[in-house]
Amino acid sequence: MKMKCIALAVAATISASAQAQVSDNVVKIGVLTDMSGAYSDLSGLGAVEATKMAVEDFKAKEKPAFAVELISADHQNKGDLSSNKAREWFDREKVDVVTELVTTSTALAVMKVAKEKNKLALISGAASTRITNEDCNDVTVHWTYDTYAVANGTAKAVVQQGGKSWFFITADYAFGHSLEKDSSGVVLANGGKVLGTVRHPFPGSDFSSFLLKAQSSGAQVIGLANAGTDTMNSIKQAAEFGVTPKQSLAGLLMFITDIHALGLKSTQNMYLTEGFYWDLNDETRAWSKRYFDRQKKMPTMIQAGMYSAVTHYLKAVKAVNSDDTQKVMAQMKKTPVNDFFAKNGKIRDDGRMVHDMYLMHVKKPDESKYAWDYYRVKQTIPAAEAFQPLSASRCPLIKKTAS
């Protein structure tokens, strides 16, 4: 009887110790995103809602021994504001992971703070390949897409359809520069040529002078190396000034919310590259319907990617019974991503989560049969082709491993 009591006491001590590995027995997630600016529709409150869904579903299905809390804030697309908020969250709020981070400047700023504090950054909305190249670190995962992937899909398709000469209108910050560079590389590699480029302030409202320069270049294709309201304003004003249909527009980063806002009449026949589409299959439709019931709009790939990334993170915390950054990261990297967002996805050593991407062709108005029926899948781009190969990586972590 005495030995049994000792055994029970030891078991209880071990159990208590195991639970204590999750600091304060709470995992805290901070969603830092654009809630009021150019990217608020494609990310914003919808990204927060997708994260809430991930937390709710994880609690219901996994029944963790630890609590999960969520806080959110508007970073206003400002790098300094983002880094200060991340530092405050890590130091005062005991946040374990900062997520979303649409806008490359905010992502790069928060990545540095996360590394300094040895905390995780899960990026869904930011696009630049700098995140997993020059600025990579061992506490960041880039989940949903990047400029290499969207350029490899859209620019390649447009060139192959006969759009050989290009002029770029580019958002003048890290994301736009990266998208222009990656797209130009694809255009040249596929036999096209770049006639020029012009860069606009971010965010922008009046694109008339930039469009006139693109028009005077005589390029067949005007590549829009911007996103969100910048892209939508560019498309609207191109039609107003008669730039289109004489010249074609290539929206190098567009989202289903952009298509919905502009309408099929304005966007029909455009090519775009997505990491997710709500109407791909039964799994995507089921999750997206739940999201629609809460948000009254279909999710973008950023918002769906948030659910996937946060769920993968929480499952890793439970598996290692710890919120220790390096333990959780190791578990995330060794575990394949298999959910409605990605099949056989994998987090590489550079922090890039690789998965299939999709080349989409926007339907004509009379081809759309029901609400949000906007895309025709032209091609599934396998993960190995969609993202930059590690052999071309500029990430110091990869160079160190290679040496």
- CA-nearest of 391, 304, 318 to 355 is 304
Does residue 3 surpass a pLDDT of 50? no
pLDDT tens digits along 27-71: 999 999 999 999 999 999 999 999 999 999 999 999 999 999 999
Tokens of 204: 């922008």
Topology classification of domain 148-274+358-386: Rossmann fold (3.40.50)
69 bridge partner residues: 28
Q: Looking up tokens 């979303």, which residue turns up?
A: 100
* β 97-100/26-33 pair status: parallel
Strands of the sheet containing 165-171, edge to edge, are 193-200, 165-171, 221-225, 248-251
pLDDT tens digits along 305-351: 999 999 999 999 999 999 999 999 999 999 999 999 999 999 999 99
Confidence category of residue 4, pLDDT binned at 50, 70, 90: very low
Decide whether 26-145+281-355 matches 148-274+358-386 in CATH topology. Answer: yes
- Helices and strands (DSSP H and E) totals, the chain: 15, 14
Q: Are 303 and 46 in contact (CB under 8 A)?
A: yes
pLDDT of residue 89: 98
Cα–Cα dist 101/348, whole Å: 20
pLDDT of residue 12: 40
* φ, ψ at 223 (rounded to 5°): -85, 120
The letter for the amino acid at 328 is: V
For residue 275, give every residue at least 6 positions away whose Cβ sits within 8 Å of its Cβ, in sequence order, or none.
144, 145, 149, 301, 305, 341, 355, 357, 358
The letter for the amino acid at 40 is: S
* φ, ψ at 377 (rounded to 5°): -75, 115
CATH number for the domain running over 26-145+281-355: 3.40.50.2300
DSSP state, residue 70: E
Does residue 403 surpass a pLDDT of 80? no
Tokens of 352: 């890039």
Q: What is the mean pLDDT of residues 127-136?
A: 97
Instruction: Specify the DSSP element, H or E, that contains 121.
Output: strand 120-123
Tokens of 153: 């899909």
Tokens of 354: 């690789």
Task: Please state the domain extents for the chain.
Answer: 26-145+281-355, 148-274+358-386
What CA dihedral angle connects 62, 66, 67 and 68, to 10 degrees?
-60
* φ, ψ at 335 (rounded to 5°): -105, 120
